[in-house]
Each structure stands twice: as C-alpha cells, then as structure tokens.
C-alpha cells in the first residue's frame, strides 16, 4: 500500500456526486460517490451508505492505491463483460438488455423483496429467450434465500441453463450446506460467493470450508487491486471480477483488476455503467463488442469531466455527510 495521505489532502481532493440511475437497483434510484484526484490520477470512493466505517475504510484503501500509489501490471489488454438485469418485470428485460453491446453473458437479479419465484422464473426465462441458448446466464440473490428456498429456486431455474448462482444464501455455513444439498438433489448449479468474500472479516473462509465453486471479487470493497489479487491467489478458486454500481472511474479499477489476473475464465460484471443515467466522464465506460479494453479504462480515469462534477454535485447536507464519513474511514487506515 502507498503511504496514507493526510486527511486534509483527501478532503481537498474530494468531489461528492449524486448520479441518477436508469432503473431501481439495490433498492436505490441514485448512486452517491466521492471522486478523489490524487497524484496518480482520479480514484473513486463509494461505499454504500449502509456500510459500516470498517467497510468504508477498505474502500478508501482502494482509492488511495489508485490515486496515490501504483497498480499491478496487467497481463491482458481486454476483458469480457456481462450485461446486468435488475429485478425488473419480464416485459422490461429486452429494453434493459438493449442498452448493452453484450450478447454472450448476463447476470440476472433474483430474490427481490416483494417478488416471488414466479417473477424470477419469468425474468430469467425472458433473458434466455432474448440472448439465445448459447448465452451464459448467471443469477444473483444477494444472500436472500434460506438453504431450503435456494434449493427450491435453483431446482426450478436450473433447466434454463445457469452458469452459476451468486451468493444464494447469506452465511458461509449456509453456502456450504446448499452445495451439499444441490449435489444430493442432482441440481448442477455452481455456487459463487460474493458478500461472503468482500464483506467478511476472513475472506478466505469460503474456500477453506468448501462453501463455493468460485469467488466474485470487487477491487474497492477488498481494499484495492493488489489485495484482491492476494485473496484470489490464496483462495485457489476461479474468480469473477465485478463492480459495485460504480462510476466509470470505479469501473476502470475493476478492469485493472481483471487485466492483472493470471487466469480469467469468466466474463466480468463490469458493465453496470449502463445502469447509470449520468456519469462523471463524457465517454462512459460501457461495454463495446461484449468487452472493455484496458486503454479505454485508463482513459476514463484520466478524463473526469469538471462539468459533470458540478452538475451532479451532492447538496450541502450530503456533502457534509460524506466528508464526515471520509474522516472516520481515514482514521481507520494505517498511518503513513
């Protein structure tokens, strides 16, 4: 890790923005983020508002790495990207997918509060219809199912051809139990761990307990690209690089992580820029031809639009809230 900048330096470099979303995602219609300009370029700090200060500090460590240090060298110059389908009604699926220049892989949100398994089935079935039989379709439950609910849901969804189910249950113990239950039921759906890696005190527990077939990793929540690479290596499981509803600056860090992975077997969840109705760069980092290039990602980090920072600046109350949070997160980082 690079030396931690002084708090005053971070506060002076901080720009709070509130960006509108095209559709509701994770229960929100706006995405708040803090853009930080360091000597090595722009960085993003955008832990979700409900996250604790300890979580926010890891996100800040990632921003310090990007803006005040150096990033690991890449081994590839482009990465494949999946489309992301929020928990929309089935009749809206085609419109959502039309925003993506992606026809190979899609991640579909399921287990939304207030919706039923029938809604999930209809949504995933429509994704399969639009993308065709050769497409890879993965689902993400964000830990909302019990083991029994997950077995029932994945048994019903499996005939639609799932690449994997992301965080079907909330705890590592339940993920391990689910893998065993699916095997006993003859349901061939691999289990991926997301929150059980990026929000865990011990991100390697899922690997030690055999609770997942692969891990979903995000650079910012894990403390940066270098730390994420360490965790992937130690876990010894295939990794999917994903985003956390980032601006183009945050997505660029995800591309940097994917580009540095020794092995990249799965398309990345780095297409969520298509869910934003506005961004902080003039040329948003959205997939072209089903992928993102390292050159475009680096260009995005270098091309933050001052006009966008002004147009989408958070109001005085939100700016004060984020600056106070930044001070608390900074206090948790190691001293330089």
pLDDT at 26: 77
**Percentage of the chain lying above the pLDDT 90 cut:** 92
**pLDDT tens digits for range 303-335:** 999 999 999 999 999 999 999 999 999 999 987
> Which positions ≥6 away from 320 have C-beta within 8 Å?
none
pLDDT tens profile 46-83:
999 999 999 999 999 999 999 999 899 999 999 999 99
Say yes or no to pLDDT of 244 above 90. no
Q: How confident is the model at residue 70, as a pLDDT? A: 85
Distance in angstroms (rounded) separating the CA atoms of residues 163 and 208: 23
pLDDT of residue 114: 95
Strands of the chain (E only): list them.
14-25, 28-38, 41-45, 78-80, 83-85, 105-109, 136-140, 162-166, 191-193, 214-217, 239-241, 291-293
Per-residue pLDDT of 153-178, as tens digits, reads 999 999 999 999 999 999 999 999 99
**Structural fold of domain 78-302:** TIM Barrel (3.20.20)
pTM above 0.75, yes or no: yes
Dihedral pair phi/psi, residue 231, rounded to 5°: -65, -45
246 is in an annotated binding site: no
pLDDT digits (tens, 9 = 90+) for 206-238: 999 999 999 999 999 999 999 999 999 999 999
Residue 186 pLDDT greater than 90, yes or no: yes
Report d(CA 244, CA 140) in Å as an integer.
13
Please identify every residue annotated as catalytic: 109, 218
Domain coordinates in residue numbering, the chain: 7-71+306-331, 78-302
Give domain 7-71+306-331's CATH superfamily. Answer: Enolase-like, N-terminal domain (3.30.390.10)
User: In the predicted model, what is the mean pLDDT of residues 90-100?
Assistant: 94
Task: Please determine whether the domains at 7-71+306-331 and 78-302 fall in the same fold group of CATH.
Answer: no
In order of 19, 89, 120, 242, the CA distances from 145 in angstroms are: 30, 20, 13, 21
- To the question of whether residue 140 is assigned a binding role by annotation, the answer is yes
């Amino acid at each position: 890790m690079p030396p931690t900048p002084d708090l005053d330096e971070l506060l002076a470099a901080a720009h709070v923005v509130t960006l509108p979303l095209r559709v509701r995602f994770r229960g929100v219609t706006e995405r708040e983020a803090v853009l930080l300009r360091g000597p090595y370029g722009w960085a993003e700090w955008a832990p979700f508002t409900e996250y604790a200060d300890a979580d926010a500090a890891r996100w800040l460590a990632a921003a310090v790495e990007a803006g005040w240090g150096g990033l690991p060298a890449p081994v590839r110059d482009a990465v494949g990207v999946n489309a992301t389908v929020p928990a929309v009604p089935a009749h809206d699926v085609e419109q959502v997918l039309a925003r993506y220049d992606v026809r190979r892989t899609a991640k579909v949100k399921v287990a939304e509060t207030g919706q039923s398994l029938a809604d999930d089935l209809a949504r995933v079935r429509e994704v399969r219809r639009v993308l065709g039989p050769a497409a890879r379709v993965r689902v993400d439950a964000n830990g909302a199912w019990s083991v029994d609910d997950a077995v029932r849901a994945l048994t019903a969804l499996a005939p639609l051809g799932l690449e994997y189910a992301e965080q079907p249950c909330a705890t590592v113990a339940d993920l391990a139990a689910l893998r065993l239950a699916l095997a006993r039921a003859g349901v061939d759906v691999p289990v991926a761990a997301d929150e059980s890696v990026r929000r865990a005190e011990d991100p390697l527990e899922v690997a030690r307990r055999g609770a997942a077939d692969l891990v979903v990793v995000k650079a910012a929540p894990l403390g940066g690209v270098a730390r994420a690479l360490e965790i992937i290596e130690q876990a010894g499981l295939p990794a999917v690089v994903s985003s956390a509803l980032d601006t183009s600056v945050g997505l660029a860090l995800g591309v940097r992580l994917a580009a540095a992975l020794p092995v990249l077997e799965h398309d990345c969840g780095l297409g969520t820029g298509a869910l934003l109705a506005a961004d902080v760069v003039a040329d948003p980092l959205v997939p072209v031809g089903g992928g993102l290039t390292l050159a475009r990602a680096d260009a995005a980090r270098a091309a933050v639009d001052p006009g966008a920072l002004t147009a989408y600046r958070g109001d005085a109350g939100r700016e004060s809230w984020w600056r106070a949070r930044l001070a608390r997160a900074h206090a948790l980082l190691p001293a330089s």
